[in-house]
Structure 1
Amino acid sequence: MIELPGDLPVIERTAVRLVVRDAQDRVLLFHTRDPDHPRLGTWWELPGGGMDPGETYAETAVRELREETGFVVTAARLGPPAWRRRASFIHRQRRHLQDEVVMTVRLDAAGPDVDGAERLDYEVEDYFGFRWWTVDEVVGSAERFYPGRLPALLPRFLAGEEIDEPFELWS
């Protein structure tokens, strides 16, 4: 049994994260923060979010990618949900406990601009930048990431390894 801090009400959900690669093999990460918890600082995270009732992983991935970036792809462009993890973090006034899968998607363009017009209100406040990173830049960075082990696991995941990551208490 996972012991969670008793700091905030808990919301459990299933989520999908995406390793979005451009035509130059760079990975898209959002620079983000939680305005309710400035002590957390800033970090870089993979696009993605919670599944809506009745959605498949692929449907969630396609919807979240469109909402957060403006990129429109079909489910056929997605890689399998080969990275599985359970994590907990605080966001706004809730503690999230979520089961996540990470999938890949490759874009045809090199470093396209992100269009956040369909973002939810809190995403507009939380995401204040984005960057296309090489895998080596992620691996060698001292920045903070979500998932926290992204620098260690990204090369293995992109090489086709199935990953069952242990629980991460991120915040």
Structure 2
Amino acid sequence: MIELPGDLPVVERTAVRLVVRDARGHILLFHTRDPEHPRLGTWWELPGGGVDPGETYTETALRELREETGFVVTVDRLGPPSWRRRASFVHRQRRHLQDEVVMTVRLDAVAPDVDGADRLDYEVEDYFGFRWWPVGEVVAGRDRFYPGRLPELLTPFLTGDRIDEPFELWS
């Protein structure tokens, strides 16, 4: 059984995270903060979000990609949900407990601009930048990432390994 801090009300959900790769193989990460928890500082995170009732992982991936980036892709651009994880983090006065899958998305363009016009209000406040990272820079990165083990697990994930990551208490 996972022991969570008793700091905030807990919200449990299922989510999809996306490793979005451009034509060069660079990875899209959002520079993120939580204005309600400045102690957390800033970090780089994979796009993604919660699965709505009745949605499949694929439907969530396509919707979240469109909402957070403006990219519209077809199902054949998605990889399988082969990285599974459970994590907890603080966000907006709640403690999230999430079962997540991570999928790849392949784009034809090189470093396309992100269009956040369809983002939710809190995403507009939280995401204050983005960057297309070479995989090697993520792997060697000293920045803070979400998922926290992204630098360690990115290469095995991209080479096709199935990953069942243990629980991460991120914040």
Deviations 1:18-60 (A, max 9, x none): 0000001000000000000000000000000000000000000
What is the DSSP-based 3-state SS (H/G/I as helix, E as strand, rest coil) of the residue aligned with 1:86?
strand
Question: So what's the TM-score if we normalise by structure 1?
Answer: 1.00
Q: Which residue of 2 aligns with 1:70?
A: 70
What is the DSSP-based 3-state SS (H/G/I as helix, E as strand, rest coil) of the residue aligned with 2:76?
helix
After superposition, where does 1:29-68 map in structure 2 within 5 Å? Answer: 29-68=29-68
After superposition, where does 1:6-21 map in structure 2 within 5 Å? Answer: 6-21=6-21
Q: Which amino acid aligns with 2:105?
A: V
CA RMSD of aligned residues (A): 0.3
Percent identity of paired positions between Structure 1 and Structure 2: 84
Q: How many aligned positions are there?
A: 171
* 1:166 CA drift (Å): 0.1
Q: Which residue of 1 aligns with 2:99?
A: 99
Deviations 1:126-149 (A, max 9, x none): 000000000100011110000000
After superposition, where does 1:105-144 map in structure 2 within 5 Å? Answer: 105-144=105-144
Distance in 1 (CA, whole Å) between partners of 2:36 and 2:122 is 11
What is the DSSP-based 3-state SS (H/G/I as helix, E as strand, rest coil) of the residue aligned with 1:103?
strand
* 1:77 CA drift (Å): 1.2
What is the DSSP-based 3-state SS (H/G/I as helix, E as strand, rest coil) of the residue aligned with 2:72?
coil
Question: So what's the TM-score if we normalise by structure 2?
Answer: 1.00
Q: Please, which runs of 5 or more residues in structure 1 have no aligned partner?
A: none
Q: Please, which runs of 5 or more residues in structure 2 have no aligned partner?
A: none
Following TM superposition, where does structure 1 have runs of at least 4 consecutive aligned residues deviating by more than 4 angstroms? none
